[in-house]
Amino acid sequence: MTPAQNPLLIEWTGAFGLPPFEAIRPEHFQPAFDRALARHRAEIDAIAANRAAASFANTIETLEKSGRELERVSNVFFTLTGAETNDAIEAIERDVSPLLARHGNAIYLNRALNARVAELYRRRDTLGLNAEQARVLERYHTKFVRAGGALDQPAQDRLAEINERLASLGTAFGQNVLADEKAYALILEEGDLAGLPGFARAAAKAAAEERGESGKYAITLARSSCEGFLQFSARRDLREKVFQAWIKRGENGGTTDNRALIAEMVALRAERAKLLGFASYADYRLDDQMAKTPAAARTLLDEVWGRARAKAHAERAALQAMIAEEGGNFALAPWDWRYYAEKLRKARYDLDEAEIKPYFQLDKMVEAAFETARRLFGLRFTPVEVPLYHADARAFEVKDETGRHVGLFIGDYFARSSKHSGAWMTALRDQERLSGEVRPVILNVCNFSRPAVGEPALLSFDDARTLFHEFGHGLHGLLSNVTYPLLSGTAVSSDFVELPSQLYEHWLEVPEILQNYARHAATSEPMPQALLDRLLATRTYGQGFATVEYTACALVDLDLHALPQPGDLDVGKFERDDLARIAMPAEIVMRHRLPHFQHLFAGGGYAAGYYSYMWSEVLDADAFEAFEETGNAFDPATAQRLRDFIYSAGNLRDPAEAYKAFRGRLPAVDALLKKRGLDRAAAEPVIS
């Protein structure tokens, strides 16, 4: 195959410069990666070997312009590995991941290139750089230092080995979790569905049909399927089966067991941190985050943990009392919590998920997210027909209030066996201006339950919140307004990147959004005010449980990556011991147990960084108060500051400075505690 015959390597002339997905096959990727890697190596070698004195133009800008073909091929490939994978693509991923790590090593451990960047950084005050250029130079210098560019040769060689091995292990981890998820389905008959409302039955029927089980029902390990079943099924025995399968992903023995991979990854990360002069991987990771130190992250988590645990204990007592009132002679177990919490919510608030869910149609919630973006930022979303990688995916052209093209947004919402679990935002193309006006192509990928044929897709309120969350990330990419690719969109610290997404969730609960878009699937009638009031009254219901299951993950993550010498780590024992140390309630399980904790180990983007969601929540709770203080959730002046300093600013500023530019000050934890209903909870002692 010649490059001219490879659809990944030719010029993409279709609408919006999209890849020709209909022509791309797995066999096209390896030769495309081979050529793109070779071209990028040649570009890097030319920069490093340049005999002219280092300048911002011939070093930093040239670096920024290099590797465009590799970026293009990689973006297509990793879109498919996440959202539309298969055996052939997974095999290529296992080969390509260490190759890309090796390529990154060759760049950031290149002594001549590192010397040029270091020289420019030393002379930064004499170069006449504007603020954005100075930020780009600072970030490149930091990247080279943190990658080991200043170390001696033996240390660099060992770092390179570690990075390659971690890349392979991360790929294997994610593929193992996906394999366990694909392998499991609880096939049910009509008589097994006691308690399941119509929408849950329809989703289970569609899942069974997808697996060739016509006339039956299937519960899968997609979160929307599992949690719905645990919430509604009256069959305690079946709830336990589903729950145990869900929490055992990556821990079933055999070739897909992830525990040995985790132990090796934690040891390698600790070794890498030591080589770079840090006491632990957690110290290394947080040194370049907004939090700066593990101690700062722990201070926040500890403040929340004691209050959350106290509230969870009160919730547990109420659920156990309900079991007793019904004549149940058993102690509340983890697979019971969601079921009895839903029953108690109905009893306390006269609120039934089956009554709520018909008002949260997927299409209407997408419209609600778009309308919020129009009112805040002047954006308009128009459906367009373009070739995409799967029939489920849908595309929208995005324009501003003047009609100027802003970018393309792609939403891919339904769970399927070819898609990894979870929800995420990614990009096929990032915004920048260094190579002309480059407009972004942004994707949101979710895993909502597919409806029966001819039926509307219905979301839970939590699903709708997830949709708004990922769309907030999407806006962070779409609204980016920077010159240099390194600073574009979501390329910010992980404990700041969740601010735009978590903040956007608040607008789902703005009454005028719900009144206009929460419309019944059968009648199109808006949600009655009385029902809306009851729904909003439950904002803090169950927050003890939700906060405990999240915060436990963040604490265990920090503890695991704070180990200075992990040694022969027994992953299961470490998890059990650490949860015992923090006095984890026995009836609650971590939201992500270590064997399937993909945030930490399927690439490691949140390793020693899962605290970031709560760190950002402190910011988002305070940020929304800026709108509430004006009396208008769409206040134009506040929205403009939000756009200028958060959503469109990429990594132009240090995160703390960006937040202060928007809000005028840094936030305190009070707004978060109030948002979660923990402000009045008496904190239990925290064991540090």
Q: Return the active site residues.
A: 470
423: Cβ–Cβ under 8 A, 6 or more apart, which residues?
A: 444, 445, 446, 447, 466, 469, 470
> What are the b/e assignments for 326-359, b being 16+ CB within 10 Å?
eeeeeebebbbbbbbbbbbbeeeeebebeebbbb
Residue 561 contacts residue 282 (beta carbons within 8 Å) = yes
Cβ-based burial of 158 (10 A; exposed 0-12, middle 13-18, buried ≥19): middle
Reported as type and span, the H/E element at residue 675 is helix 670-675
Task: Give the integer Cα–Cα distance in Å for 557 and 332.
Answer: 27
Task: Give the integer Cα–Cα distance in Å for 380 and 687.
Answer: 50
Residue 168 contacts residue 604 (beta carbons within 8 Å) = no
* CA–CA distances in Å: residue 529 to residues 372, 515, 628: 20, 8, 21
Give the CB-side neighbour count of residue 472, counting CA atoms within 13 A: 23
Nearest Cα neighbor of 612 from 508, 413, 475, 473 is 473
DSSP lists the bridge partners of residue 444 as: 411, 425
Task: Give the integer Cα–Cα distance in Å for 341 and 344.
Answer: 5
Phi/psi class of residue 148: alpha, beta or left (left: φ > 0; alpha: ψ in -120 to 50)?
A: left
Residue 677 contacts residue 315 (beta carbons within 8 Å) = no
Q: Which two tokens stand for residue 140?
A: 């490149």
Phi/psi class of residue 254: alpha, beta or left (left: φ > 0; alpha: ψ in -120 to 50)?
A: left
Helix axis angle for 131-147 and 111-122, nearest 10°, is: 140
257: Cβ–Cβ under 8 A, 6 or more apart, which residues?
A: 176, 250, 251, 595
Nearest Cα neighbor of 605 from 222, 85, 173 is 173
Q: What is the DSSP letter of 278?
A: -
In a 3-state reduction of DSSP, which class is residue 337?
helix
> What are the b/e assignments for 122-150, b being 16+ CB within 10 Å?
eeeeeeebeebbebbbebbbeebbbbbbb
32: Cβ–Cβ under 8 A, 6 or more apart, which residues?
A: 6, 8, 9, 73
Task: Give the integer Cα–Cα distance in Å for 62 and 47.
Answer: 7
> Amino acid identity, residue 134?
A
Task: Give the integer Cα–Cα distance in Å for 16 and 343.
Answer: 49
Nearest Cα neighbor of 186 from 230, 241, 134 is 241
Distance of CA 23 to the CA centre of its chain: 29
